[in-house]
Structure 1
Amino acid sequence: MEEHPLSLYELNALVKRSITTYLPDTYWVQAELSDVRSNYSGHCYLEFVQKEPRGNNLIAKARGTIWSNVYRLLKPYFEEETGQAFVSGIKVLVKVSVEFHELYGYSLTVQDIDPTYTLGDMARRRREILKQLEEEGVLTLNKELELPLLSQRIAVISSATAAGYGDFCNQLEQNPYGFVFYPRLFPAIMQGERVEQSIISALDAINAQLDNWDVVVIIRGGGATSDLSGFDTYELAANCAQFPIPIITGIGHERDDTVLDSVSHTRVKTPTAAAEFLINHLHDTAEVLEDYASSILQAVSTRMMREKTRLSRLVERIPMQTLMRLKDEHYRQERVVKQLETALQSRLTKEKHHLQMMETQISIASQRRLVKENHRLQLLEQQLKAASPEHLLKRGYSITLKNGKAVTDASVLQLGDELTTRFAKGEIKSVVTQK
C-alpha cells in the first residue's frame, strides 16, 4: 500500500487538472443527440452517443450541457437553418469544450453548432427513402395520375385550427370566376412526432369513400419550419405515392422539397397557392368547354346559311305562274316560318347544353375508370413479382428438383435418387443417402 493514498476527491481533482492541461481547446465533434431536455432555467442537458456503423449498439457516450445563454441562440438558429427540431435522434456537428467536475464527472459543454452537417445527413436520408421507393416501382405513381377536368370535390388533410386551412377555403370561396368547390376537412396533426400516423389515418378515411373525391390536398400553415421532419418518412411517402387519386401538397415552406413533396402529384408552397392552383385548373377547363360551345354555334350558323342559300336556289327554279299562286300562301306562312326558326334555335340551344353535359360526364367516368384499372393492374403486377419463384429464390429460399419436378414431400424419395437444388444463383447436384 502506498504511504499517502489519495482521496476520491483528490483523484478527481487530479483528473480535472490533467484534462484542463492536455485538452485546453475546443473541438468539433460528430455525434447523435439523445435524451435532450431543458429545465426551467433555460439550460439544456443531453447525451451525445455514437453507434456502430452497421448496427444499433452504442460504442461511445458522453454527457453534454448547453448553458442557457448559448441555448437560446443556438436552438432557433439550428431549427431555422435545417427545418429540423433540436431533438433526440438527429446527427449533429458541435463545437465543445471538455469538462471534468469532481462530483459530476466528465461532460462536454457545447459552444457552437454547424447546421450544414445535419442538413447533409437529412438530405442523405431523403435520398435513401426516394431510392427505396424508386426500386419498389412506386415513386412516380401519384404523379402519373391525370388531374380530373372538374376537380371540385376536395378532400383536405390539415389541422382544424390551422390558419392555412381557413385561408385555403376562403380563397376557393372568393374566386373571381364564381366557381363552386366542395372542400371537406379530414383532421390531422401537422406537427410533432404524430404527423406520419395522423396523415396516414386521414388518407385511409378518404380511401374508404374514394368515389366522393376528385383530389386530396395536404396543407399546413403557420407552423414552424422545425416541424417539417414529420413529412420526410418512408411510410408516409409510400402511402401518398400509391394513393389512387392525385395529391396536392402545400405545407408552407420554400426550402428543398420534403419526401412527401417529391412523391405527390403537385407541390405548391402554401395553402393559398394550392387553392389558386385548383381555381386556375378549373378556369382552364371552362375555357376549353367554351371553345367547344363556340365551335358548335359556328357550325349551326354555317349550316343555316347553307340551307337558306339552297332554298333560294330551289325557289328560283319554280315557274313564275306557280310563284304567283304561291305568293299569297307565302305571306300567310311567313309568320309560321319565323316561329319555326325561333323554335329551331331554342331546340339547338337545348341540345347543345345536353351535349356539353354528356361530354363532361363521359370524360369524368372514363378518366376515373382508367385510373382505377391502371392502379389495379400495377398492384397485381407487384403481387405477381412478389410471388414469382425467382423473387423467392432471391430472398434466400431454394427449390429441390427430382427429374425436373419440384419435391415437396420427402417420403416420395428413395435412397440413391439424384436431386438438383436450385438457388437464386446457380444449382448443385446431390444423392439421397439417408432417410
Structure 2
Amino acid sequence: MRKATFSLYELNSLVRQTIDQTLNEEYWVEAELAECRINRGHCYMELIQKDEQSNTPIARAQAKCWQSSWAMLGPYFEKTAGQALHAGLKTRLKVYPQFHETYGFSWIVTDIDPTYTLGDLARRKLEIIQQLKSQGVFDLQKELKLSPFCLNIAVISSETAAGYGDFVNQLADSSYHFQTRLYPAIMQGEQVEHSIIDALNSIYNEIENYDCVVIIRGGGATADLSGFDTLTLAENVAQFPLPIITGIGHDRDESILDMVSHQRVKTPTAAAQFLIGSIDTTVQRIDNCQERMIRYITSRMEAEHLKVTRLADRIPALFSLVRTRQEARIDTLSTRIQSALTLTFEKQRHQLQLLQQRAKALDPTLLLKRGYSITTRQGRVIKNAAEIKPGTEIETRLEQGIIISIAK
C-alpha cells in the first residue's frame, strides 16, 4: 500500500498543529545569548547552551520578542540589570513555542528575569576579582603615589563625549596650568576592552610625558557597561605604572575597572574636581610649610637675640673676671721667669769663672816664666824638628825677649 505524501507546507502545518496542541503553555528557560539584535522594534535572539566541561554548544534555538512586549521588557531589563541585553549574557526567559510554515520554529519571549542575569554577572564578576587577587595585582594601583604636582594628564574617552568636554573645561577654569591629551576610545559596547587597552599601550609608549591617566565615559547610557568588567582590561589597568582615575558615570554599581583603579569617581566632572583638589592640597601644604618655617625662623631669631642680649650683659663681668685671672697668671709667670733667669745667670757666672780659671792655667806666659820657650816659624808653633830644613829662619820666644836663629 502506497504511503501518503505531503507537501512541505502540509507537513509544516502538521508540525505547527502538533506543537500548538501539545506545547500550549509558557515555559521558563535558562540560556546564554549567542546573538541579540533589534530590528524595527522587535528583538531577535539566538539562544545557546554549552557543555559545562568542554564549553561546546549542545543546544541552539531562535527566539523573538515582539515589539508589543519588547517596548516594556527591554527598558525594564536595562533599568534593573544596569545594561542592555547583549551577546554573552546568561538569561532566564519566559517563552512559548511557535512554528510557522514559512519561517520555521522559534521561541516567543513574553518575559525576562533580570535578577537571574544579575546573579550570573555577580558570579562572573566575583570570579574575576578572585582571580585578580590570586595573581596579586588587584591592589597594585592603590599602592601607586599620585604626584603632588599632577598636571600632565592622559585622557581615555570618546572624542565626541560630552563628559570629555566637561572634564577639559573644568580643568581649564581652574587656576592651574593642566596639560591634557586625548587618546580616543570606544566607551560602550563589545569593543570597549580592546579599545581602552590600545589607548593604554599608546600612553605607555609616551609614559614619561604624563603624571596620571583618566578614563572617563560620561554622557552615555547606563547600559552597555559590561565592557568594563573583563579580566583582560582589569589586568592591564591594575598593572599600569601610572595612577589611573576612572569616572565612567554610573552610580548603581562599581565595575571591576573602578575596583582596580587608583581612584574611582562618579563622573568626568568629579575626576576634574579630584585633580584640582589634589593640587589645592599640595598648595595648602606648601603654604602651611611656609608659615611653619616663618614661625620657626622668627622664634629662633628671637631666642638667639635673647641669648646675645644675655651674653652682652655678662661680658663686662666675664671680662673683669678673665682680666683678673690673666693678670694673676701674668704675675705668677713673671715671678717664675725672674727666678728662672736669676738661677740661669748664676749658673752661667759660675761656668765663666771655671773657664777663666782653666784659661788662666793654660796662659803661655806662665810657662815662659817657668823657663820654657816657644819656637815658631812664620807665626806657626813648631812641634817637630823634622819640619825645619837647614837655613830656615826660626823665632824663639822667652819670658823676656825673642831670639831669631838660622837652623843648620
User: Given the superposition, is the C-alpha separation of residues 62 and 317 from structure 1 closer, same or farther in structure 2, using an over 3 Å criterion?
Assistant: closer
Partner of 2:350: none
Distance 1:263 1:188 in 2: 19
SS of alignment partner, residue 252 of structure 1 = coil
| 2:271 aligned with 1:255 | no
How big is the shift at 1:164? 0.7
Partner of 1:35: 35
Distance 2:167 2:31 in 1: 41
How big is the shift at 1:57? 2.2
| 2:20 aligned with 1:17 | no
State the Cα deviation string for residues 124-159 of structure 1 (Å, max 9, x = none): 221222222222221111111122222222111111
Q: How does 1:307-318 map to 2 (within 5 A)?
A: 307-316=304-313
| 2:196 aligned with 1:196 | no
Partner of 1:111: 110
How big is the shift at 1:117? 1.1
Q: How does 1:416-431 map to 2 (within 5 A)?
A: none
SS of alignment partner, residue 143 of structure 1 = helix
Distance 2:112 2:251 in 1: 23
| 2:136 aligned with 1:137 | yes
How big is the shift at 1:246? 0.9
Distance 2:278 2:289 in 1: 17
Q: Which amino acid letter does the alignment assign opposite residue 17 of structure 2?
A: R
Q: List alignment gaps of at least 5 residues for structure 2.
A: 317-408
Partner of 2:97: 98
Q: How does 1:228-307 map to 2 (within 5 A)?
A: 228-307=225-304
Q: Which amino acid letter does the alignment assign opposite residue 96 of structure 1?
A: V
User: Given the superposition, is the C-alpha separation of residues 130 and 317 from structure 1 closer, same or farther in structure 2, using an over 3 Å criterion?
Assistant: closer
Partner of 2:63: 64
SS of alignment partner, residue 20 of structure 2 = helix
Distance 2:183 2:13 in 1: 61
Please provide the CA RMSD for this pair. Answer: 2.2
Distance 2:190 2:106 in 1: 29
User: Given the superposition, is the C-alpha separation of residues 252 and 309 from structure 1 closer, same or farther in structure 2, using an over 3 Å criterion?
Assistant: same
Distance 1:8 1:201 in 2: 53
Partner of 1:409: none
Counterpart contact for 1:155–1:213, Cα < 8 Å: yes
How big is the shift at 1:315? 4.5
Counterpart contact for 1:83–1:229, Cα < 8 Å: no
How big is the shift at 1:5? 5.3
Partner of 1:87: 86
| 2:155 aligned with 1:156 | yes
How big is the shift at 1:10? 4.0
State the Cα deviation string for residues 15-61 of structure 1 (Å, max 9, x = none): 3233222222211111122333333x322333222111122322212
Distance 2:168 2:149 in 1: 17
Distance 2:313 2:214 in 1: 67
Distance 1:146 1:74 in 2: 46
User: Given the superposition, is the C-alpha separation of residues 35 and 298 from structure 1 closer, same or farther in structure 2, using an over 3 Å criterion?
Assistant: closer
Taking only the aligned residue pairs, the percentage that are identical comes to 54
User: Given the superposition, is the C-alpha separation of residues 61 and 314 from structure 1 closer, same or farther in structure 2, using an over 3 Å criterion?
Assistant: closer
Distance 1:273 1:265 in 2: 15
Partner of 2:346: none
More displaced, 299-308 or 139-148?
299-308
Distance 1:3 1:128 in 2: 58
How big is the shift at 1:194? 1.9
Q: Which has the larger radius of gyration?
A: 2
TM-score with structure 1 setting the length: 0.68
User: Given the superposition, is the C-alpha separation of residues 33 and 300 from structure 1 closer, same or farther in structure 2, using an over 3 Å criterion?
Assistant: same
User: Given the superposition, is the C-alpha separation of residues 37 and 302 from structure 1 closer, same or farther in structure 2, using an over 3 Å criterion?
Assistant: closer
| 2:219 aligned with 1:222 | yes
Q: Which amino acid letter does the alignment assign opposite residue 230 of structure 2?
A: T
Q: Which amino acid letter does the alignment assign opposite residue 16 of structure 1?
A: R
TM-score with structure 2 setting the length: 0.72
Distance 2:117 2:204 in 1: 36
Distance 1:52 1:71 in 2: 30
- 1:212 is matched with which residue: 185, 209, 213? 209
Distance 1:302 1:48 in 2: 79
Distance 2:106 2:195 in 1: 38
State the Cα deviation string for residues 154-196 of structure 1 (Å, max 9, x = none): 1111112211111112222223xx2332222222221222211
User: Given the superposition, is the C-alpha separation of residues 310 and 72 from structure 1 closer, same or farther in structure 2, using an over 3 Å criterion?
Assistant: same
